[in-house]
Structure 1
Amino acid sequence: MTRKNPSFRISLLATAVAVTLAAPAAMAASSTKLETREAPSAATAAAPGARLIVTYRDAAAPKSVKLRTVNNAAARSRSMTSASARTGSTAPSAMLMRKLAVGADLIRLDRKLGTAELNNLVRELKADPAVASVEIDELMQHTGVARIKTDVQPQLTPNDPYYAQYNWHLQDNAGGIRAPSAWDVSTGEGVVVAVIDTGIVEHPDMDGNMLFGYDFISDKEVSRRPTDERVPGAHDYGDWNDDAARCQVGESSFHGTHVAGTVAELTNNGIGMAGIAHNAKVLPIRALGRCGGYTSDIADAIVWAAGGEVPGVPTNPNPAEIINMSLGGSGSCKAISQTAINKAVALGTTVVVAAGNSNSEVANFSPASCDSVISVAAGRITGGRASYSNFGAKIDLTGPGGGGGVDGNPNGYVWQAANDSPTSPEEGEPTYMGMAGTSMASPHVAGVAALVQSAVVAAGGAPKTPAELEAILVQSARAFPATPDKPIGSGLLDAPAALAKAMEVPCDPAVEECAPDAIELTNMVPVGNLSGTSGTETLFSFEVPEGTRLFNLMTYGGTGNASVYVSAGEAPTADTHDFKSTRPGNNETIRVSNPPATTYYILVTGSYSGMTIQARAN
């Protein structure tokens, strides 16, 4: 975090401690004050035509050749756009900003383009034999949906004074993650969680767990820094906007501070509230500012967080085991985002992403629809789906996000650290704030993932791979209190259950009969975002209860070609099985009428990506 001058630092901390310790009396003397603000549910395009992400077939081609390719395409696209011809405007000129960690070049145009001319330019570039791919460098937004401040009197508890009343999302209730039981096993020590967001501000209930991060924003209008250069530290200068022509007008969110607090706010320190993995460290990375953050900056941040090389940026001295991204935009997974995620996963980093707040199919949002991420929907204190939460087969599980006003204050919001300024944090003071959104659900999953990794390593085991960690969290999720109206994953995040699943002692076939190691399927709950390569096999299991009239198994969606083999009571093979479905593509179906009550094992083979599997017994 960027440090400010010493006098301000001392003043800020003195004020914060005084406010925290005196809060009960101060709050009791004032009436409840509510302030809410709706955030955009999906990203809009960047200033049209401002930046393009271009991958050339010859990555080593001279800069002049690359720019000539773009400029020629711009000239051709202009001639096809009648509006440009009428106004007499010239074709835009291109300049190379930098090379990205994923190997693409970031190109900036010297003027904005209208939608038609921009689309024509992209089409012309895609058709050029020198170009392998091109994407518009869009602005993504954080996925917090509402913000609320309150002066209501808290109920004091022995340690963190606001925990009992405000941190419902950490407690043992219908929608909470049951963190206290997990803390008996792990508090996240030794694990680094990167939070790619708006950066953080100083806060006495957080500073001790914050590492020195990096600011990846490469546009001074977005960052509010003096230049476009990226800089060490991740200080949040505020993301307020008062220019409606630029993007939606609104106050600063201090979204990254709130998200980081969920992961690792200091706990049992007699101040404020609690965090999940409160002995882990947060690596704050600033990629969102005024009006959002560019896809290219976020992609570089992902690679850097995992320990990968980013041109022009020093190597990260604290590679993260887990990355949280409470951000997103409309459209299916961006190619640059998927490439960056693949690099992070290959380095052993688990990527957790908020599903989005549009009450829509998650497949139409990025990066929540990308492969190899843990995509998280939002639940209410009741355990039901938050009305704004995206849904679909690509959702892995649900975490506490808050239901907003429908569940009242404070139970409709997730509460963590923030700053009370409507603009710059230097104009405000540390405080605590309630927000609702899938932004709030995602860091709960990241925090529990940190608990799991810490416990496994402390017990002498090897850190879980991203795929193993995802399976643990998905399989250990507890059942929803009632079937959700839309598919939102395997169940509700459950911290102690995840730890128990991770710490299970493997069965020893020398002393007992061992069941096959399989991923458990829950009745009528789709498991999405599956992938496999030629030669790999994935085994699932499904318990068929007594009295079942029809057992139905389906795989669907994505790309590639999968085959499915099923046997009752034992693991099948491609040669030995009770049932099979081996049609071309991923759409496989097996139906068993009046099946016996037993465990069915399902073997999936082939090369596929983005596929969903679902079992049903009725």
Structure 2
Amino acid sequence: MHPLTTLRLGALAAAMILPVHAADTQVLPTVAVKIRSAGMESDGKYDRFIVTYAPGSTPRANHTLVEQGVATAISRAHLDMRSAQSGSLASPPAARWQRKLAIGADLVRTPRKLSRDESLALMQQIASDASVVHVEPDVLLHAVADVKAPGTLPAGVATSTPDDPMYAQYQWHMHPGDGSATTVGADTAAYANKGGSDASAAWAMADGSGVVVAVLDTGITHHADLNLELAGDGYDFIDDALVSGRATDGRVPGGWDTGDWTTTDPWLSQCTDASNPPEASSWHGTHVSGTIAERSNNAVGMAGVAPGAKILPVRVLGHCGGYTSDIADAITWASGGHVDGVPDNTYPAQVISMSLGGSGVCDASDVTSTAIAGAIARGTAVVVAAGNSNDDAAGYSPASCPGAIAVASVGITGRRAFYSNFGSTVTVAAPGGGIYANDAASGSGSVNAGFVWSTLNSGTTVEDQAVYGGMAGTSQATPHVAGTVALMVGAVKDVGHAPLTPDQIRLALINSARAFPIAPDHPIGMGIVDASAAVQAAIASDTPIASVVLSNGVMVTGQVGKAGTSALYRLDVPAGARNLVFRTLGGTGDVSIYVKRGVPPTESGNNADFQSVKPGNNESVIQTLPAGGTWYVRVAGVKDYAGVSVSGSFTAN
């Protein structure tokens, strides 16, 4: 049973909506929310649960006590653990400890799959233990599996000018989005290219050499147009035998894609239904990897955004998807953290690209969010797909995880792709393909200009011939941004500047984004990624952001401003802090406040994570479990104001 609703246009993954902020003060509970139920389907079945115990608690260091605690919770929830197949009764009710995650949580498994209601009852009982700080089901996430263009292109293409012969013919998405008339592949109509990434203009300044990009996906296949130098150094993090396709449970070295087809049993019966029809192997990771770093100037095929970068393939998606627990460990490992039972990564990535997801809001205490926060703390930028369900990205994980760079999709005309998720959690848009002529929401058939073109494989189950093909979706938009980040990181290193932090990278992407040629019908970030401008912004990003630095709990008094103007303040919040509060009070006039982590809110506040817009000057935003990092608060004058006090405070762990 798939843990997310799926919209199929070929295979477009979908999710649910949840608003990012309300129109007034955000007041969260004063105690941690221990249970994550977001993303659980009403008819879902779950037998894997991730339990996080408090640091220093006895069960955290003793997996036998973890098993005993979950078994007690099963009993208290009055759950019958008899197997539907055997009719046998587990006595006492058993739970099997699977492993310790890198973030410190424990993965446990129940003797049978539980319904949603049973799972909630069990998690409530687990959470009643005072030593438990968080519990969530270990759900399967999926590739944001996008629409495939009809047919494929052979790998053996005669040399021509330019060096990469199919670059000029197909890769509109690497060209400048300057409105130049562009005819793609077999199309007869030309389109004004306003959605391109401008990667071609960036190559004169940087090519990503010396940068490692970890692609957490289905793995990678053999292809002459891909640099496979690190393929053997990657890792297959899929532990479950059903999902990996191996004979036994366990993780194995190498980032190779061995296929993810669901057209034969056991996957046909266990992973497919009316909403999720059987599918051939997607080779999704190979396509994404090519967009990031396909070789260039080799007289073959196409080109990637950062052709000098090295791809570190990490297999986290197989038959039926990929478990949250495996993905979280892979995020930690790819960014240079330690994972028990796996050799340490000798090529830590500066960038992680994840074109995958599932439904449900991602809170700071969630397993995926905790892993991403760890990667960011190690200096790794995390780029993720916004999702393909034409909904608010706030309802997706990891798209709504704090600190992740979420990417929406535009087509060749620069319009929001009709399927692309949107909302204030989106950082930037990038070319992902509009599928139909003029990026319309429907049509009599697809066009070549409606797709992103990259490396693929012809196999329907296992790997066969290396080919090229088109796909469309936020999965394809995401690697354009990941590749751009690789260019930025490499360029900054080349000029001898200090490495950029992930927050600086995000800000440079926002500041350099090209304005939308057509106002989007829904917000999809601050513009379309422009690789050339982003490289230049990265080189100049050592200029500090003009803002007033707040000290924890210290009130800044006597603030004055005019209607229509704003002032920016910042507060550095350590990881593990609680009860973050931003306030304005006193004085005369009327102000509103807009709050965002990582980058400043805009003057209008339309990208804010939280806001408070009551009449007068008494405004507040409260986050009980904030993500660590730099938080910005913009105080905007609704009317002239004077004598206003501004503060930011938190409780350190």
Structures share fold, TM-score greater than 0.5:
yes
Of 242, 251, 268, 2:297 maps to 268
Aligned residue number for residue 213 of structure 1: 234
1:98-247 paired onto structure 2 within 5 Å = 98-150=99-151, 157-173=161-177, 174-208=194-228, 210-211=230-231, 212-242=233-263, 243-247=268-272
SS at match of 1:282: strand
Over 3 Å counting, the alpha-carbon distance change for 1:506 and 1:145 in structure 2 is closer
Of 386, 390, 393, 1:359 maps to 390
Per-residue Cα deviation, 1:167-198 (whole angstroms, up to 9, x for no partner): 11111130011111100000001000100011
Aligned residue number for residue 466 of structure 2: 430
Of 342, 354, 359, 1:325 maps to 354
Greater shift, 293-302 or 406-415, is seen at 406-415
CA distance in 2, matches of 1:239, 1:206: 20
> One-letter code of the match for 1:222?
V
Tell me if structure 2 keeps the 8 A contact 1:239–1:289.
yes
Question: How far did 1:127 drift?
Answer: 1.7
CA distance in 2, matches of 1:194, 1:63: 31
Aligned residue number for residue 23 of structure 2: none
Over 3 Å counting, the alpha-carbon distance change for 1:324 and 1:499 in structure 2 is same
Question: How far did 1:532 drift?
Answer: 9.2
> One-letter code of the match for 1:290?
H
Question: How far did 1:533 drift?
Answer: 8.2
Per-residue Cα deviation, 1:353-408 (whole angstroms, up to 9, x for no partner): 11111111111110110111111111111111111111111111101111123444
1:525-536 paired onto structure 2 within 5 Å = 534=552
> One-letter code of the match for 2:45?
P
Mapped pair 1:421 → 2:459: yes
Of 475, 479, 485, 1:449 maps to 485
Tell me if structure 2 keeps the 8 A contact 1:78–1:117.
no
CA distance in 2, matches of 1:458, 1:349: 18
Question: How far did 1:74 drift?
Answer: 1.1
CA distance in 2, matches of 1:348, 1:224: 33
Question: What is the count of residue pairs matched by the alignment?
Answer: 525
Question: How far did 1:144 drift?
Answer: 2.8
Tell me if structure 1 keeps the 8 A contact 2:238–2:315.
yes
Question: How far did 1:351 drift?
Answer: 0.7
Greater shift, 370-379 or 61-70, is seen at 61-70
CA distance in 2, matches of 1:475, 1:161: 33
Per-residue Cα deviation, 1:253-284 (whole angstroms, up to 9, x for no partner): 10011111111001111111110110110110
1:417-496 paired onto structure 2 within 5 Å = 417-425=455-463, 428-496=464-532
CA distance in 1, matches of 2:465, 2:555: 54
Tell me if structure 2 keeps the 8 A contact 1:552–1:590.
yes
> One-letter code of the match for 1:52?
F
Tell me if structure 1 keeps the 8 A contact 2:414–2:516.
yes
CA distance in 2, matches of 1:421, 1:82: 41
Choose between structure 1 and 2: higher helix proportion: 1
Question: How far did 1:560 drift?
Answer: 3.8
Per-residue Cα deviation, 1:4-31 (whole angstroms, up to 9, x for no partner): xxxxxxxxxxxxxxxxxxxxxxxxxxxx
Aligned residue number for residue 5 of structure 2: none
Counting aligned pairs with the same residue, the percent is: 44
Over 3 Å counting, the alpha-carbon distance change for 1:373 and 1:93 in structure 2 is same
SS at match of 1:237: coil
Per-residue Cα deviation, 1:541-579 (whole angstroms, up to 9, x for no partner): xxx9xxxx9668999xx984325799xxxxxxxxxxxxx
CA distance in 2, matches of 1:493, 1:559: 35
Mapped pair 1:55 → 2:52: yes
SS at match of 2:372: helix
CA distance in 2, matches of 1:269, 1:69: 59
Per-residue Cα deviation, 1:194-250 (whole angstroms, up to 9, x for no partner): 000110110111034544200000111101122211111011111111215423221
Aligned residue number for residue 11 of structure 2: 38
Aligned residue number for residue 77 of structure 1: 77
Aligned residue number for residue 590 of structure 1: 636
SS at match of 2:619: coil
CA distance in 1, matches of 2:522, 2:650: 25
Mapped pair 1:373 → 2:404: yes
Tell me if structure 2 keeps the 8 A contact 1:456–1:463.
yes
CA distance in 1, matches of 2:492, 2:636: 37
CA distance in 2, matches of 1:591, 1:316: 50
Question: How far did 1:536 drift?
Answer: 11
CA distance in 1, matches of 2:331, 2:433: 27
Question: How far did 1:535 drift?
Answer: 7.2
1:501-512 paired onto structure 2 within 5 Å = 501-504=537-540
Aligned residue number for residue 648 of structure 2: 606
Tell me if structure 1 keeps the 8 A contact 2:546–2:568.
no
Tell me if structure 2 keeps the 8 A contact 1:143–1:356.
yes
SS at match of 2:394: helix
Tell me if structure 1 keeps the 8 A contact 2:44–2:116.
no
CA distance in 2, matches of 1:607, 1:432: 53
SS at match of 1:53: strand
Tell me if structure 2 keeps the 8 A contact 1:157–1:163.
no
Tell me if structure 2 keeps the 8 A contact 1:147–1:253.
no
> One-letter code of the match for 2:67?
L
Over 3 Å counting, the alpha-carbon distance change for 1:554 and 1:141 in structure 2 is farther
SS at match of 2:352: strand
Over 3 Å counting, the alpha-carbon distance change for 1:151 and 1:259 in structure 2 is closer
Per-residue Cα deviation, 1:449-486 (whole angstroms, up to 9, x for no partner): 11011111111111111111111111110100021111
Mapped pair 1:252 → 2:281: yes
Aligned residue number for residue 348 of structure 1: 379
Over 3 Å counting, the alpha-carbon distance change for 1:152 and 1:443 in structure 2 is closer
SS at match of 2:527: coil
Over 3 Å counting, the alpha-carbon distance change for 1:114 and 1:496 in structure 2 is same
CA distance in 2, matches of 1:536, 1:190: 43
Over 3 Å counting, the alpha-carbon distance change for 1:124 and 1:187 in structure 2 is same
Tell me if structure 1 keeps the 8 A contact 2:382–2:404.
yes
* TM-score normalised by length of structure 2: 0.73
Tell me if structure 2 keeps the 8 A contact 1:356–1:365.
yes
Of 416, 430, 435, 1:385 maps to 416
Over 3 Å counting, the alpha-carbon distance change for 1:365 and 1:379 in structure 2 is same
Question: How far did 1:592 drift?
Answer: 5.0
SS at match of 2:46: coil
1:493-572 paired onto structure 2 within 5 Å = 493-504=529-540, 517-518=545-546, 534=552, 560-563=580-583
SS at match of 1:378: strand
Tell me if structure 1 keeps the 8 A contact 2:383–2:406.
yes
Tell me if structure 2 keeps the 8 A contact 1:417–1:433.
yes
Aligned residue number for residue 338 of structure 2: 309
CA distance in 2, matches of 1:359, 1:301: 28
* TM-score normalised by length of structure 1: 0.77
SS at match of 1:234: coil
Mapped pair 1:65 → 2:62: no
Tell me if structure 2 keeps the 8 A contact 1:160–1:268.
yes
CA distance in 1, matches of 2:488, 2:567: 31
CA distance in 2, matches of 1:439, 1:255: 9
CA distance in 2, matches of 1:344, 1:101: 12
